[in-house]
Structure 1
Amino acid sequence: MWTETESPIGPLRLVERDGALSAIEFSPYREEACPTQERQDDHPLLLETARQLAAYFAGERRDFDLPLAPVGSDFQQRVWAQLQEIGFGETASYGQVALRLGMTNAASRAVGLANGRNPIPVVIPCHRVIGANGTLTGYAGGLERKQLLLSLEQHSLF
């Protein structure tokens, strides 16, 4: 099932599979990513996902409590799990994520590729990964969205 919700970073398509959130897609949506299931705006998990996202964007929520089912390789799954350890308002470099995975800094490129394939952005906070020199680097949703998400978190800290 899938639905769409509005957000400060544009419309988001939320996709559920087997009782878990499997994707959040940025608009404009890729045709090849179009869910094969029917749209269901009243699906309980999709409603809860939209509710938690709205609270996050309003500065009222820092963490998400949703069942997740991102599809990816074992390495991608490890990277995505590590991204969830980066706290609200914090950032880490690709190299730091590699080191936390028990790899050398040389694996930062592989971490970057896995980061870019994260199917559940915002909830799995790939926007919190930055370049080693502190600069914003690529983001599947575009650098403008990444900057907005990081700014939102910085301004929500007390």
Structure 2
Amino acid sequence: MPVEYCIQTSPFGRLLLAAASEGLLLASFADDDSELLAELTEAYPERLLLYRSNTLLDQAFYQYQAYFSGQRQQFALPIAWHGSAQQQAIWQQIIQIPFGQQWSYQQLAQTLPTPYQAAHAINQALRHNPLALIIPCHRLSNSPQGLGYYRWGRVRQQQLCDREASPVIATYSMEMMS
């Protein structure tokens, strides 16, 4: 089954969106396309990768653009969940963190079933988050005033947190890479 993908410019660098018939698979930031393509190839080595849009990618593109322009605070897309049951449970809790709020790892742990509360389990879920912004791990910090681990980098994490905390959000238009 092929994986279709598109790459676009966003306020936070290049953004890759990838989907298959079962739903959105990957949303990732990088500074250049080669990093994104390497990540996609590593994640799906046995699947045919096709650079083209489809209805789901168009929806995702639209929702990301709405997020960047301040018109959307969360996403409503079909997701093809991959990862362990533990990772998926943690991701589902991270999705519940309200827009503009920062939670500590301890706050997140308190919402999880006992076996998933370990710092190691949370860190593994964060490191394997396949869906930038949809699973808003940028809203997690390891201290009340600090930033936590963010697989797309601390600079992006700070920019995202600042953007969500700002009452005025500049509009931004994205275009697909041609």
TM-score by length of 1: 0.90
Amino acid in structure 2 at the alignment position of 1:29: L
Counterpart position of 1:14: 17
Is residue 49 of structure 2 the alignment partner of residue 31 of structure 1? no
Residue 51 of structure 2 corresponds to residue 44 of structure 1: no
Q: What secondary structure, in the 3-state scheme, does the structure 1 residue paired with 2:118 have?
A: helix
Question: What pairs up with 1:107-122 in 2 under 5 angstroms?
Answer: 107-122=118-133
Q: Which runs of 5+ in 1 are unaligned?
A: none
Q: How many residues align?
A: 157
Could you tell me whether the CA contact under 8 Å between 2:25 and 2:79 is conserved in 1?
yes
Contact 2:104 2:141 (8 Å CA) reproduced? yes
Whether the aligned pair in 2 keeps the contact of 1:5 and 1:12 (CA below 8 Å) is yes
Query: Quick check: which one's strand share is greater?
Result: 2
How much has 1:94 moved relative to structure 2? 1.3
TM-score normalized by the length of structure 2: 0.80
Spell out, residue by residue over 1:48-105, the C-alpha distance to the aligned partner (whole angstroms, 9 max, x if none).
1011101101111111111112310000000000011001001211121111003389
| Aligned counterpart, 1:80 | 91
Which runs of structure 1 show a deviation greater than 6 angstroms over 4 or more consecutive aligned residues?
A: none
Q: Does 1:147 align with 2:142?
A: no
Q: Residue 89 of structure 1 aligns with which residue?
A: 100
CA distance in 2, matches of 1:71, 1:100: 21
Instruction: Considering Cα pairs closer than 8 Å and 6+ residues apart, tell me whether 1 or 2 has the greater RCO.
Output: 2
